[in-house]
């Protein structure tokens, strides 16, 4: 018998090793009762208390322990890649696109089935690239924008249709760009921001899926690349940091109703190659990155209601080129990256209530410039990236 808070949740039983695989929602604590002749494999980030009860005519015992979440291999992609993108599709599968490896810039893409753990190559698109962006449109298609290959920064745009499993060519950008950021707005349009051509860009442009057109919109106050872009709860877009010639601490807000960029409060510390994560309360958490002279372990919070940045607890590890995501319990998981000396497999959790960071179990492989995706079942999928020795990885892991 398996019982979790009086509910039987999604459970797989494997006859060959008589084990149960539990898929549980990401709540803070869970108590699980089970018969002593069964075993459980935990792949969830929640803290889980296990109560083992055995009963005979004369004795009864109770043991409580805490299960430690683990990273498990989720198979290999068909192509090793870094500098790629990963997008969650409406059916819960993950589309990984492009990137590069020892064979050059990739025009391949593949789908991860979260139910089976199997990777399947899709159709190829026309031009290989890395450092592009991928945005899921309201119709379920995926828009691939810009990027870089041997020809330099790119104007190329492609659309993937999951239902037909085909790639089509979209209208080109007005300005070639790589290391830019793209976000899908509340109105369904896609905003491509900044990046680099021969130098950092201040331009931004809007894509309308209904007409397949790009329109230049308001320019940033500061040209920048390797920044972050976050759609706030009010529909406006926050960009912060990045670099032009120097690492930046300035931040700006884009208003879709006016197409105007307005300066907001500066970051406490200039940073690029960092992460920005929107919390449940609407604030934005930025963490790590490369600062004016060193790799950072600092983190700060942006309050959209005041436009002010506030320092919060420092990470355990300084890092850049890492990834971050919000878990279902509202906390933030940061993994991988580079601390200035070694590539990291270290992972840590930010507690939004206490503002503190705690180390958790390491990934199986150190990774830089990889992707991290939160699946519909609450698990986390990391894919590819680069290892310490410069080897491009095809491995993937689930947390």
217 found inside a domain: no
pLDDT at 29: 38
Provide the number of structural domains found in the chain. Answer: 1
Strand partners, 195: none
Of 53-62, 156-165, 367-376, minimum mean pLDDT range: 53-62
Q: Do the beta carbons of residue 172 and residue 155 sit within 8 Å?
A: yes
79 found inside a domain: no
118 found inside a domain: no
Burial of 290 from C-beta contacts in 10 A (0-12 / 13-18 / 19+):
buried
Arithmetic mean of pLDDT over the chain: 88
Q: What is the 3-state secondary structure (H, E, C) of 59-122?
A: CEEEEEEEECCCCEEEEECCCCCECCEEEECCCCCEEEECCEECCEECCCEEEEECCCCEEEEC
Q: Do the beta carbons of residue 193 and residue 179 sit within 8 Å?
A: no
Taking Cα atoms as reference points, which of 95, 198, 88, 208 lies closest to residue 153?
Answer: 198
pLDDT at 19: 37
Mean pLDDT value across residues 387-393: 94
**Confidence category of residue 69, pLDDT binned at 50, 70, 90:** confident
Q: What is the 3-state secondary structure (H, E, C) of 25-76?
A: CCCCEEEEEECCCCEEEECCCCEEEEEEEEECCCCEEEEEEEECCCCEEEEE
Helices (H) and strands (E) in the chain, counts: 0, 39
Which domain covers residue 27, as residue numbers?
2-67
Mean pLDDT value across residues 71-84: 96
pLDDT at 360 > cutoff 70: yes
Q: What's phi and psi for 142, nearest 5 deg?
A: -115, 125
34 found inside a domain: yes
b/e code 34-47 from CB counts within 10 Å (16+ = b): beeeeeeebbbbbe
Structure letter (DSSP) for residue 154: B
pLDDT at 86 > cutoff 90: yes
* Angstrom distance (rounded) from CA 179 to CA 369: 12
* Angstrom distance (rounded) from CA 127 to CA 156: 8
Burial of 395 from C-beta contacts in 10 A (0-12 / 13-18 / 19+):
buried
Strand partners, 44: none
For the CA atoms of 63, 66, 69, 72, the dihedral, rounded to the nearest 10 degrees, stands at: -30
**Confidence category of residue 202, pLDDT binned at 50, 70, 90:** very high
179 found inside a domain: no
pLDDT at 387 > cutoff 90: yes
Instruction: Give the CA distances from residue 300 to residues 195, 269, 283, in Å, rounded to whole numbers and listed in that order.
Output: 23, 9, 10
- CB neighbour list of residue 91: distance below 8 Å, 6 or more residues apart: 162
Q: What is the pLDDT of residues 295-322, one digit of tens each?
A: 999 999 999 999 999 999 999 999 999 9
pLDDT at 372: 97
Q: What is the pLDDT of residues 213-267, one digit of tens each?
A: 999 999 999 999 999 999 999 999 999 999 999 999 999 999 999 999 999 999 9
* Angstrom distance (rounded) from CA 3 to CA 281: 32
44 found inside a domain: yes
Taking Cα atoms as reference points, which of 352, 302, 304, 303 lies closest to residue 330?
Answer: 352
> What region does 10 belong to: left with phi over 0, alpha with psi -120 to 50, or beta?
beta
Q: What number of other Cβ atoms are within 10 A of residue 187's Cβ? A: 11
Instruction: Give the CA distances from residue 394 to residues 110, 128, 165, 371, 387, in Å, rounded to whole numbers and listed in that order.
Output: 12, 17, 22, 12, 11
pTM: 0.83
pLDDT at 367: 98
pLDDT at 66: 52
33 found inside a domain: yes
pLDDT at 269 > cutoff 80: yes
**What separation, in Å, do the N-terminal and C-terminal C-alpha atoms of the chain show?**
25
Mean pLDDT value across residues 128-145: 98
22 found inside a domain: yes
* Cα-trace Rg, the chain: 22
């Amino acid at each position: 018998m398996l019982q979790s808070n009086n509910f039987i949740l999604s459970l797989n039983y494997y006859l060959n090793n008589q084990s149960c695989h539990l898929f549980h929602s990401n709540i803070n604590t869970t108590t699980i009762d089970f018969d002593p002749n069964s075993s459980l494999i935990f792949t969830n980030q929640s803290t889980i208390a296990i109560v083992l009860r055995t009963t005979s005519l004369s004795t009864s015992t109770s043991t409580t322990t805490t299960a430690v979440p683990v990273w498990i291999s989720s198979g290999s992609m068909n192509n090793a890649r870094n500098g790629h993108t990963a997008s969650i599709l409406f059916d819960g599968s993950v589309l990984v696109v492009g990137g590069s490896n020892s064979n050059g810039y990739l025009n391949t893409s593949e789908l991860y089935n979260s139910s089976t753990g199997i990777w399947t190559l899709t159709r190829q698109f026309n031009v290989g690239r890395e450092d592009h962006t991928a945005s899921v449109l309201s119709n379920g298609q995926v828009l691939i924008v810009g990027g870089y290959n041997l020809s330099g920064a790119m104007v190329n745009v492609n659309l993937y249709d999951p239902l037909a499993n085909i790639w089509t060519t979209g209208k080109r950008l007005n300005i070639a760009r790589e290391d830019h950021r793209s976000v899908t707005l509340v109105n369904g349009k896609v905003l491509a921001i900044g990046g680099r051509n021969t130098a950092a860009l201040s331009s931004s442009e809007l894509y309308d899926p209904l007409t397949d057109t790009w329109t230049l919109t308001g320019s940033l106050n500061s040209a920048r690349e390797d920044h972050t872009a976050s759609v706030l709860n009010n529909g406006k877009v926050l960009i912060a940091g990045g670099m032009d010639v120097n690492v930046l601490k300035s931040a700006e807000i884009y208003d879709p109703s006016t197409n105007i960029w307005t300066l907001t409060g500066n970051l406490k510390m200039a940073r690029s190659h960092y992460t920005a994560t929107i919390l449940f309360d609407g604030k934005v958490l930025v963490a790590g990155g490369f600062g004016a002279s060193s790799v950072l372990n600092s983190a700060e919070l942006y309050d959209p209601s005041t436009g002010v940045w506030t320092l919060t607890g420092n990470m355990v590890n300084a890092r850049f080129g890492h990834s971050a995501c919000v878990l279902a319990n509202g906390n933030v998981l940061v993994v991988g990256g580079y601390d200035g000396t070694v590539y990291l497999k270290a992972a840590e959790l930010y507690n939004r209530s206490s503002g503190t960071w705690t180390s958790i179990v390491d990934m199986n492989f150190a990774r830089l410039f990889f992707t991290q995706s939160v699946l519909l079942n609450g698990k986390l999928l990391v894919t590819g990236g680069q290892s310490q020795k410069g080897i491009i990885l095809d491995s993937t892991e689930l947390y």
